[in-house]
């Protein structure tokens, strides 16, 4: 028969193997879940980015469909064809025109 020391040795060896198998299974499952979570987050980010880009395109097409010289000037100013100082100068000129028209209107009331 076998001695208790040999029995304890084999018992410890079997226990260590079972713990290693359980740890391997748990680690594999955890890494699998982490990989799935990462893939889902990447997909969510990609969908979010596509949604934002679709909204940008919708707004750009809506602005371009409105047409008109004012819209064209604003679009041209933001797209870089006019520099910022030229845009500011144009706005100041328009404000001066409105003030002049307002003064003429007030003078005609008196």
pLDDT-derived band at 2 (thresholds 50, 70, 90) equals confident
Structural domain boundaries of the chain? Answer: 1-66, 68-110
Give the predicted TM-score (pTM) of the model.
Answer: 0.45
Sole residue written with tokens 């750009």: 60
Q: Which class for 103: exposed (0-12), middle (13-18), buried (19 or more C-beta within 10 A)?
A: exposed
Note whether 79 and 68 are within 8 A (CB): no
pLDDT at 53: 93
Higher pLDDT, 6 or 76: 6
pLDDT, mean over the chain: 85
Buried b (16+ CB within 10 A) or exposed e, 1-10: eeeeeeeeee
- Is residue 68 classed as helix, strand or coil in its secondary structure? coil
């Amino acid at each position: 028969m076998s001695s208790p020391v040999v029995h304890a040795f084999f018992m410890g060896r079997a226990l260590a193997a079972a713990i290693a198998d359980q740890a391997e299974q748990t680690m594999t499952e955890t890494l699998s879940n982490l990989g799935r979570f990462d893939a889902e987050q990447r997909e969510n980010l990609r969908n979010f980015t596509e949604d934002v880009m679709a909204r940008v395109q919708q707004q750009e097409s809506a602005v371009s469909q409105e047409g008109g010289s004012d819209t064209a000037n604003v679009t041209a100013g933001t797209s870089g064809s006019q520099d910022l100082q030229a845009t500011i100068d144009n706005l100041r000129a328009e404000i001066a025109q409105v003030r002049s028209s307002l003064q003429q209107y007030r003078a005609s009331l008196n």
